[in-house]
């Protein structure tokens, strides 16, 4: 696990960039405080990294070389089946290894299999390989986008980094991408592959790239998740397969040479991970978070689950002042704004976990794979309207337009007569197009959420509407919100989060489930097959418990303790040239008076204003501190430590 930064020159002058890269690397110190390395690979390439040592702690220093130095690798992530891959290459090719780590199997696999190594890797990864012989860079990102990889192409060459902040010094003058800002206001995150800075992009989930000085950058997808719902005649066999695949995934995700813990909330996802993990480590520590606000704390339920499973849970409680104080640090770590309030409790539970362990297991991905969101039931509830002939649907649509706002039935008719491709664009829905016209100072009418979702829907035209929603979420909500916050907020504390549900073998099982085993008719259950599979594994009280997922009482606090703080941000922000902050202030006041719940919309604007003050005007110091990095124990040409 590490933060990486690499440069590939078009002019054979990589040495001239080495000092600047060493300076930029320090913005990634939190990702790997154990070791620092900046190496001039040759005249065309510089590799830099910050290492968080997890496997083969005393060795596996980067950049890793292979084949007598022909290839060099810098790598962020974990390969959980690295032991099996080492054995396979030893048998098939007589391969030898200089380390006991997981990174070497990537570069060795690339040497022996080429690009075909990628689907053999079971894990989370973002890496870059430099081939000295071919003068070519090759890199890739994992199946679902767990680990990040950003890039910018300049006249000097290609820069690649784990986080955008490390690339900002090499993208001088990059303005705000107003299209990405518009998407952020709709979705509460900036969708891939864009960022809020023009010219800085992200390698997509399941994508690879090659780069040469002559040919430039070539990006293409190497993996596309494919749902293939299949009728089931023996559901018990399906449940058994789900259970055993999850158990094996958890076992592999616990491979480490450092302590491994787990996050624990009140829901089935994290509880199942803990229940399976304790089979391999009965003393696993767990961590939870909550508040002294009725209806928002998960601590008591998590403690009951921990007692039932016989494990220890360490709780953390936070209040509104902690939330206000932490927000600038959180936004700095995010690089781009993500207006998900659950980032805040995650920040504090990760901070607490990092005091005890280096790795934690978490429950991300279960909802997208197994059908866990309540909104996935919407197509089933709309079937009566969606099954009508088109002329009747058009008539009902016309009726819906004359029904006054707030009258029962209006929303049902509107949704029922709107195609899923126009109706659904992910779990988060902040400002609609009409609201954005009042908020955005420079509203590009040509930018709509369908710019993001239309290409995704085009890939899944043969699926039912429920499964289409899952597929859209894999490429929007999961990688734009869920995985960004999991990676950035854990790494803010030099803590590695591992996500056993987001495993290729687990997806292969989940991908075959028919709708009635995810969302059974005549029931309000979600993730039905997964819940059935885990009966007897998790405590009975948790099997059918609805999802909360570290909820945050921003709705309550913005009416009280956080109101003046929010007003101050809106009144003093220099983002008024982009957003009508008076409009946002009116929403805040309406929210305080109880006229409407605008908490999510207000929070979306507040997070952007904080981001703007940090990354655009520089008026806000987020208060990030660091300790001196440790030098690599091996000699590194040109290595530098700030």
DSSP state of 50: E
Helix 483-491 vs helix 343-354: crossing angle, to nearest 10: 40
Q: Give the pair of three-digit tokens for residue 145.
A: 């986008």
- In whole angstroms, give the CA distance from residue 175 to residue 186: 20
Q: Give the separation between CA 300 and CA 622, rounded to whole angstroms.
A: 33
Diameter over CA atoms, the chain:
75
Q: What is the DSSP annotation of 136-168?
A: EEEEEE-TT--S--EEEE-SSEEEEESSGGGTG
**How buried is residue 132: exposed, middle or buried, by Cβ count under 10 Å (0-12/13-18/19+)?**
middle
The SS3 call for residue 491 is helix
- For the CA atoms of 472, 76, 364, 338, what is the dihedral angle to 10 degrees? -70
Rounded CA separation 632/36 (Å): 6
Q: In DSSP terms, which residues pair with 14 in a beta bridge?
A: none
Residue with tokens 């496997």: 55
Mapped onto helix, strand or coil, the DSSP state of residue 364 is coil
Measured between alpha carbons, how far is residue 53 from residues 25, 76, 121, 494, 519 in Å? 17, 11, 20, 10, 42
Beta bridge partners of 498: 361
ω before 63 within 30° of 0 (cis)?
yes
* DSSP-based three-state secondary structure for 92: helix
Contacts of 11 (CB under 8 A, 6+ apart): 156, 157
Answer for the pair 201, 152: CB distance below 8 angstroms, yes or no: yes
Mention every residue, 6+ apart, whose C-beta is less than 8 A from residue 487: 146, 147, 148, 497
Residue 197: both structure tokens together: 């800075």
Q: Are 221 and 230 in contact, with CB atoms under 8 Å apart?
A: no
Is 2 a residue of the active site?
Answer: yes
Q: Give start and end residues of each alpha helix (H) in 432-503.
A: 433-439, 450-457, 465-475, 477, 483-491
Contact 157, 180 (CB under 8 A): no
Give the gyration radius of the chain's Cα atoms. 24
Choose the catalytic residue: 1, 2, 105, 137: 2
Q: Is the Cβ–Cβ distance between 122 and 505 less than 8 Å?
A: yes
H helix or E strand, kind and range, residue 431: none
Task: Output b/e per residue, 220-253; b: 16+ Cβ within 10 A.
Answer: eeebebebebeebeebeebbeebbebbbbbbebb
**Active-site residue numbers?**
2
């Amino acid at each position: 696990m590490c933060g990486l930064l690499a440069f590939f020159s078009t002019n054979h002058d990589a040495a001239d960039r080495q000092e600047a890269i060493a300076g930029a690397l320090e913005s990634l110190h939190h990702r790997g405080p154990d070791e620092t390395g900046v190496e001039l690979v040759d005249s065309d390439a510089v590799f830099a990294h910050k290492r968080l040592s997890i496997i083969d702690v005393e060795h596996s220093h980067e950049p890793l070389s292979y084949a007598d130095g022909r290839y060099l690798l810098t790598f962020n992530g974990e390969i959980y089946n690295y032991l099996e891959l080492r054995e396979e290459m030893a048998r098939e090719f007589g391969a030898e290894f200089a380390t006991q780590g997981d990174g070497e199997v990537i570069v060795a696999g690339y040497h022996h299999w080429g690009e075909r190594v990628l689907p053999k890797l079971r894990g989370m990864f973002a890496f870059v390989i430099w081939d000295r012989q071919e003068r070519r860079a090759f890199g890739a990102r994992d199946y679902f986008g767990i680990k990040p990889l950003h890039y910018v192409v300049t006249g000097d060459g290609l820069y690649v980094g784990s986080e955008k902040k490390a690339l900002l010094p090499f993208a001088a003058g990059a303005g705000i991408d107003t299209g990405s800002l518009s998407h952020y206001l709709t979705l509460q995150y900036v969708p891939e592959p864009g960022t809020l800075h023009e010219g800085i992009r992200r390698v997509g989930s399941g994508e690879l790239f090659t780069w040469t000085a002559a040919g430039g950058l070539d990006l293409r997808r190497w993996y596309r998740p494919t749902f293939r719902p299949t009728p089931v005649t023996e559901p018990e066999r399906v449940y058994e397969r789900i259970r055993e695949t999850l158990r094996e995934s958890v076992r592999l995700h616990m491979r480490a040479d450092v302590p491994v813990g787990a996050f624990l909330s009140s829901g089935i996802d994290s509880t199942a991970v803990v229940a399976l993990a304790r089979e391999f480590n009965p003393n696993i520590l767990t961590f939870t978070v909550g508040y002294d606000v009725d209806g928002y704390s998960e601590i008591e339920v998590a403690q009951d689950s921990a007692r039932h499973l016989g494990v220890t849970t360490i709780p953390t409680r936070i209040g509104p002042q902690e939330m206000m104080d932490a927000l600038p640090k959180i936004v700095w770590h995010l690089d781009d704004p993500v207006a998900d309030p659950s980032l805040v409790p995650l920040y504090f539970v990760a901070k607490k976990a990092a005091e005890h362990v280096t790795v934690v297991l978490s429950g991300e991905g279960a909802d997208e794979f197994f059908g866990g969101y309540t909104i996935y039931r919407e197509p089933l509830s709309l079937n009566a309207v969606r099954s009508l002939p088109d002329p009747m649907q058009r008539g009902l649509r016309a009726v819906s337009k004359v029904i006054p706002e707030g009258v029962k039935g209006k929303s049902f008719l509107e949704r029922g007569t709107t195609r899923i491709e126009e109706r659904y664009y992910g779990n988060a829905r902040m400002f609609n197009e009409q609201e954005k016209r009042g908020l955005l100072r420079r509203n590009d009418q040509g930018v709509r959420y369908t710019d993001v979702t239309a290409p995704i829907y085009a890939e899944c035209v043969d699926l039912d509407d429920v499964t289409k929603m899952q597929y859209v979420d894999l490429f929007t909500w999961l990688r734009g919100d869920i995985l960004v916050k999991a990676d950035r907020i854990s790494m803010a504390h030099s803590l590695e989060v591992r996500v056993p549900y987001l495993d290729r073998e687990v997806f292969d099982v989940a991908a075959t489930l028919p709708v009635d085993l995810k969302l059974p008719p005549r029931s309000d259950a979600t993730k039905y097959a997964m819940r059935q599979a885990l009966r007897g594994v998790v405590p009975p009280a948790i099997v059918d418990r609805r999802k909360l997922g570290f909820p945050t009482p921003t709705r309550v606090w913005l009416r009280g303790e956080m109101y003046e703080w929010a007003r101050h941000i809106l009144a003093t922000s220099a983002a008024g040239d982009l957003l009508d902050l008076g409009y946002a202030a009116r929403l805040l006041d309406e929210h305080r008076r109880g006229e409407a719940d605008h908490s999510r919309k207000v929070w979306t604007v507040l997070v952007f204003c904080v981001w703007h003050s940090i990354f655009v005007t520089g008026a806000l110091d987020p208060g990030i501190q660091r300790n001196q990095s440790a030098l690599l124990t091996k000699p590194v040409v040109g290595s530098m430590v700030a």
